[in-house]
Amino acid sequence: MRLEELEALKHYTKQRVAERSGLPSTPESFSLFSIFYSVPLSSFFTPPDSHLLGEYTIHVSSDPHPDEPLSPLSTAQLNPHAHTFCLSPQTNNFVFIPILLNNTDVAKVRYTVTPLGYSAGWWGTSKIEHVELSSKDLEAIEIARVKGLRVAQSTTNMSLDVVDKEKDNSKTSNSTHTHSMAHILLEKPGILRLQSVMDKSNIEVRLNHSREIIVVLCPQADFTPDGLKMVHCAGQDLTLTIAIRGLSPLRLRWFKEVNGRREHFVKEGIESVHSMDSSSELAVSLDEIGRHVYAIEEVIDGVGNSLSISHPSTFTEHAHEANATFYGPNLNSTRSFSVIRPPAVSFKYCGPGSPTSLLIGSEVPLTIAVNHADVLDAPWEVSLKYQPPTDLEENRGKRLQSWRKNLMTPRKKKDLSFRASTPGDYRIVGVKGKVNFGHQCLNVLW
């Protein structure tokens, strides 16, 4: 999308016009009736995966009829509940836009779809599409919609009352008037403008309230791949990046959970620059030892469409899954880290001022212990340095040389032993676990 087109779209969302003048173009007849009878309805409705730990929330209106009494005049109102609509793979990239009809036996519905960012006279932009639906087209759309509700009911917990209400022709009556509901099926983003509604007597019905609605791609938000390890040392700072797609300005809700304690955050006014893609960085501090989870809760676009992602009430039930890096239906909706304490390394049974005695011609075992360490960091590689004694009498004729070597702790153990046969100074100079952060995760005790 060109920058000029995007700016025009942003301007539209901030200053919505209640009425627009007719757009010059020659109407072309268009029928959807043949489409619905040639394409299996199952291709439009995909049952959700019941094995997912969370779910995307999609709003379904349970009652298309307003509570207030309607005028006895023949009228039509686009989107009477002022809902927002967006296209998403979770809804098979189409939406049903409702039209509330009062005292009307509808014969034709005419509307236009203006591409997002359309500019009259701009070379290369898509053209305005003019569509006319007959009563047969509207009937086919209604059949598809009601069958879609039945599919949703069979795979979710939707109440049967909802389906029954939709089945009964969406019509009620009393002694003075009747009202019913028709729908427009939209499969592409754009600005839908209701042009006219004709009844069976070929009389144009009066249009009430706003005649247009904007339909965009549903907002999306995902953590971007960053190559970060899932185990970190306490005290580190990380930057997480969330890729966001949608019509700006965008609003992001997220939370962090540390050892079962959850804290919620909101980030407002996220703007896209050259397209509908943008990003937001989260600076996080891994100060507390334990399990840290960062999760996206909701993203809302500039016209009110929202994507909500459900999560477990707590992630502590998954704490034993050391290799689990995400939860929920969206594999990139959460980031999880285990934060461990720095290991303390020391000699057992000896230290400065308390040396180990070594008899001439013998050996003595020396033990190094890794204290207060997390098993997620095992095994540990300990760097050891040896310095011969400086006393000339003790070192006479032995030609002792200094050395440096690395020793590895045995599997599932936090200490290691080696045998010393020469006097001198043995010093621990480093330790490296599976989480390789060098001296940031090192605490040497003598």
Q: Indicate whether 197 and 123 sit together in one domain.
A: yes
If asked whether residues 237 and 90 sit together in one domain, one would say no
DSSP annotation of 125 reads P
Same domain, 305 and 363: no
DSSP annotation of 398 reads: T
DSSP bridge pairs for 110: 132, 196
| One domain, residues 307 and 262 | yes
Q: What is the structure's pLDDT at 193?
A: 96
Number of domains in the chain: 3
Q: Identify the residue whose tokens are 């600076």.
A: 283
Question: In this structure, what CATH number is given to the domain that contains residue 233?
Answer: 2.60.40.2550
Residue 338: phi and psi, rounded to 5, are: -105, 125
Residues of the chain under the 70 pLDDT cut = 1-72, 119-125, 151-177, 273-275, 316-331, 392-398, 436-446
The three-class DSSP label of residue 155 is helix
Q: Return the CATH number at 381.
A: 2.60.40
Q: What is the pLDDT of residue 331?
A: 59
Please say whether the beta carbons of 97 and 85 come within 8 A. yes
Element (H, E) at 173: strand 171-173
Residue where one domain finishes, among candidates 294, 314, 340: 340
Same domain, 257 and 387: no
Rounded CA gap, 114 and 133, in Å? 17
Asked if 402 and 381 sit in the same domain, the reply is: yes
Q: Give yes or no: residues 165 and 278 share one domain.
A: no
Domain that holds residue 355: 344-444
Answer yes or no: do 317 and 417 share one domain.
no
Residue 164 is predicted with a pLDDT of 45
| Listed residues 217, 250, 273: the one ending a domain | 217
Q: Taking the CB of residue 11, how many other CB atoms lie within 10 A of it?
A: 10
**Residues 145 and 39 reside in one and the same domain:** yes
Number of helices (H), then strands (E), belonging to the chain: the values are: 5, 26
Q: What is the pLDDT of residue 163?
A: 39
Q: Where are the alpha helices (DSSP H) in 214-291?
A: none
Note whether 140 and 253 are same-domain residues.
Answer: no
Backbone angles phi, psi at 369, to 5 degrees: -110, 135
Whether 127 and 99 map to the same domain: the answer is yes
Is residue 212 domain-shared with residue 225, that is, in the same domain? no
172, 199, 217 - which closes a domain? 217
| CA 401 to each of CA 11, 164, 356, 362, 421: distance values in angstroms, whole numbers, following the listed order | 78, 91, 20, 18, 13
